[in-house]
Amino acid sequence: MASASQQACIVGIGQTEFSKASGRSEQQLAMEAILAACQDAGVNPAEIDGMTTFDLDNTDEVDVMRSLGAKEIKYTTRLPQGGAASVATIVHAKNAVESGLCDVFVIWRAMNERSQYRFGQPHHSMSPDAHSSTFMEWCFPFGAQTPASWEALSCGPYLHKYGVTSEDLGRIAVIFRKAAATNPAAWFYGKPITLDDHQNSRWIVEPTLRLLDCCQESDGAVALIITRADRAKDLKQIPVRILGAEYSMLFNHEIISDFYAGDLIRTENSEIVADRLEAAAGIAPKDTDVAMIYDNFTPQILRQLEGFKYCGIGEANDYVKDGHLELDGKTPLSPNGGLMGEGYIHGMNNITEGVRQIRGNAANQIKNVRTAMLASGVAGAIIGA
Amino acid sequence: MRPDPIQRLDTTLFWDACERGEFVAQKCEPCNKLWHPPRPMCPSCHSLEKSTQPLSGKAKVLSWVRQVRPASYGFKESPIVILVELEEGLRMVSNLVGDEPPIIGDAVEVDFEKTMGGKAVPVFKKVAT
């Protein structure tokens, strides 16, 4: 474990607006978000010496350096597995700065996934050979061609076993839009939904996912700057420490198309991450003050609540019904409105919200936040003041 | 009709068999273990020697969905997608023939359907009870 002065801290966050038609290139959106994060931190973009993004991101490291004027990059990597990469970026950033390899590390994700392409629709030209898409070969010719269809197929056994209904999922959908309704940056700002709205929304995938069970397709970009505590103390913001960041991928599992291993009920990857996080951070995810849990689709919330040990197996539906995820509950869920309510920048906008909650300047600020849990299935991080 | 399977060099052994109307899994020659989806190397003994083994075609339904919006690309109507567990213990994504959704745990057996380009994929139909 790193000493206090060497501990990795998130010192800058930046984002563009989240829209359905940005009118700019993804490359420019990335630059806008990175520059905003640098200005937030008080670092010169030229000093960036480490970087990571998703393997699905369309920006290029050389181009990013050219715009930033970054003098030298000592470490760069791209992360697989779609949105699961979101919190995994924190694992890499932490290791890169705590090892001394990098001093100023940038994470970004930029997408015009609504105006330029449709992230939620079939992509019949995608290469099945790499880029987190080899599973496509085994789904596409059977008409399971969208993220919603893979998610619903994978969650089916769990929902069936515990008798989770569409109305149960609707309660989760309502929680996200309720928070988003009072977040000016959110797509659902001023537009809360009722359980009836959810129940009347059209089927996307029978018999599980209605329109309001799904995240957005958004245009926008998000960036974060990470450095060590000794450097962070001279910067503009109060540093948000990365108390733990862990990742686990087990044999024969997949991400959204996780069909081939395990009992299709438990999420063993998350369970391992939860245990390692508690050991590293000295606090369990369930005891943190805010739960930023990756919400591509509503069933993911139930499965990650159990995987990250907020409750026992089969108990997540009751955990939601008991009100624990409300903004005044025990473990408030994504006060920005999450990827469903605020926008879907592939999970990264949930990380910036976690940082704002600890800084104390979020739109829906939870009282006395000292720690926040960031979760994206195979990856988790606990950050704190 | 439906889209052709996306074939890769390491997976043609499965799809070629489908075209012949044979339902098979990749079999590791030295250790006899079966694997699906196919892969270049046996993850158990690390042999690169592989063949195929005919499967019984009997399976049970673990999960089902129908992609309503957008409709399944290449199909006249979105089919019922099922996740099945084969008698041999392997799992696979496929279709249930017909319009009537299954009940989880239903017994099904393999059949084949042609694709747009004259290839074939395995699908399943309910076993009469």
Residue B2 forms contact with A (CB below 8 Å): yes
Of B63, B69, B70, the CB nearest to A156: B63
Q: With cut-offs at 50, 70 and 90, classify the pLDDT of residue B1.
A: confident
Instruction: Verify whether the Cβ–Cβ distance A206 to B8 is below 8 Å.
Output: no
Q: Strands, DSSP E only, in B1-129?
A: 24-28, 34-35, 50-54, 58-67, 80-86, 91-96, 107-114, 120-126
Shortest CA gap A80–chain B (Å): 19
Instruction: Verify whether the Cβ–Cβ distance B81 to A128 is below 8 Å.
Output: no
| pLDDT in the model for residue A136 | 86
Instruction: Verify whether the Cβ–Cβ distance B91 to A128 is below 8 Å.
Output: no
Mean pLDDT, residues A130-136 taken together? 72
Mean pLDDT, residues A279-294 taken together? 98
User: CA-to-CA distance for A282 and A121, rounded, in angstroms?
Assistant: 41
Residue A42 forms contact with B (CB below 8 Å): no
Shortest CA gap A304–chain B (Å): 19
Torsion over CA: B71, A188, A295, A170 (sign): negative
Q: Strands, DSSP E only, in chain A?
A: 8-15, 50-54, 75-79, 105-112, 203-206, 209-210, 219-228, 240-247, 290-293, 371-376, 379-384
Mean pLDDT, residues A10-36 taken together? 97
Contacts A251 to B, Cβ<8 Å: 43
Instruction: Verify whether the Cβ–Cβ distance B66 to A205 is below 8 Å.
Output: yes
Mean pLDDT, residues A229-237 taken together? 94
| pLDDT in the model for residue A124 | 64
Question: What is the end-to-end Cα distance of chain B in Å, rounded?
Answer: 29
| pLDDT in the model for residue A79 | 96
Where in the sequence numbering do the catalytic residues of A fall? 294, 344
List B47's β-bridge partners, or say none: none
Task: Please report, rounded to a whole number, the percentage of residues in chain A having pLDDT higher than 70.
Answer: 97
Of A145, A157, A204, the CB nearest to B62: A157
Of A2-16, A100-114, A118-132, B31-45, minimum mean pLDDT range? A118-132
Instruction: Verify whether the Cβ–Cβ distance B6 to A206 is below 8 Å.
Output: no
Which domains does chain A show, CATH number per domain?
A: 4-116+220-384 (3.40.47.10)
Q: Tell me which chain B residue has its CA closest to the CA of residue A135.
A: B37
**CA distances (Å), A184 to each of A17, A21, A46, A51, A343, in order?**
10, 17, 32, 30, 12
**How high is the mean pLDDT of chain A?**
96
pLDDT at A111 exceeding the cut of 70: yes
Q: With cut-offs at 50, 70 and 90, classify the pLDDT of residue A126.
A: low
Instruction: Verify whether the Cβ–Cβ distance A137 to B11 is below 8 Å.
Output: yes
Residue A367 forms contact with B (CB below 8 Å): no
A209-247: burial string, b at 16+ Cβ within 10 Å, e else: bbebbbbbbbbbbbbbbbbbbebbeebebebbbbbbbbb
Mean pLDDT, residues A7-16 taken together? 98
Of A131-135, A180-184, A221-225, B13-17, minimum mean pLDDT range? A131-135
Mean pLDDT, residues A155-169 taken together? 98
Instruction: Verify whether the Cβ–Cβ distance B75 to A141 is below 8 Å.
Output: no
Of A143, A155, A211, the CB nearest to B2: A143
CA angle A69, A71, A76 (to 5 degrees): 100
| pLDDT in the model for residue A119 | 84
Of A31-35, A122-126, B15-19, B121-125, minimum mean pLDDT range? A122-126
| pLDDT in the model for residue A120 | 85
Radius of gyration of chain A (CA): 19
Q: In this predicted model, what pLDDT tens digit does every residue of A351-365 receive, in sequence order? A: 999 999 999 999 999
pLDDT at A131 exceeding the cut of 70: no
pLDDT at A331 exceeding the cut of 90: yes
Q: Tell me which chain B residue has its CA closest to the CA of residue A125.
A: B6
| pLDDT in the model for residue B7 | 83
Asked whether B110 and B18 are in contact (CB, 8 A), the reply is no
| pLDDT in the model for residue A135 | 84
Q: With cut-offs at 50, 70 and 90, classify the pLDDT of residue A27.
A: very high
List all residues of chain B from 76 to 105 with a beta carbon under 8 Å from chain A: 78-79, 81, 83, 91-95, 101, 104
User: CA-to-CA distance for B105 and A360, rounded, in angstroms?
Assistant: 50
pLDDT at A184 exceeding the cut of 90: yes
pLDDT at A86 exceeding the cut of 70: yes
Mean pLDDT, residues A107-129 taken together? 83
User: CA-to-CA distance for A159 and A248, rounded, in angstroms?
Assistant: 24
pLDDT at B122 exceeding the cut of 80: yes
Contacts A122 to B, Cβ<8 Å: 70, 72-73
| pLDDT in the model for residue A55 | 92
Shortest CA gap B96–chain A (Å): 10
Mean pLDDT, residues A3-20 taken together? 96
More confident residue, A137 or A102: A102
Of A133-137, A313-317, A375-379, minimum mean pLDDT range? A133-137
Mean pLDDT, residues A260-266 taken together? 96
| pLDDT in the model for residue B73 | 93
Residue B26 forms contact with A (CB below 8 Å): no
Q: Tell me which chain A residue has its CA closest to the CA of residue B112.
A: A142
Residue A286: name the closest of A354, A372, A366 by CA. Answer: A372
pLDDT at A223 exceeding the cut of 80: yes
Measured torsion, CA atoms of residues A75, A78, A80, A86, in degrees rounded to the nearest 10:
90
Instruction: Verify whether the Cβ–Cβ distance A156 to B62 is below 8 Å.
Output: yes
| pLDDT in the model for residue B129 | 73
Q: In this predicted model, what pLDDT tens digit does every residue of B51-86 receive, in sequence order? A: 999 999 999 999 999 999 999 999 999 999 999 999
pLDDT at A130 exceeding the cut of 80: no
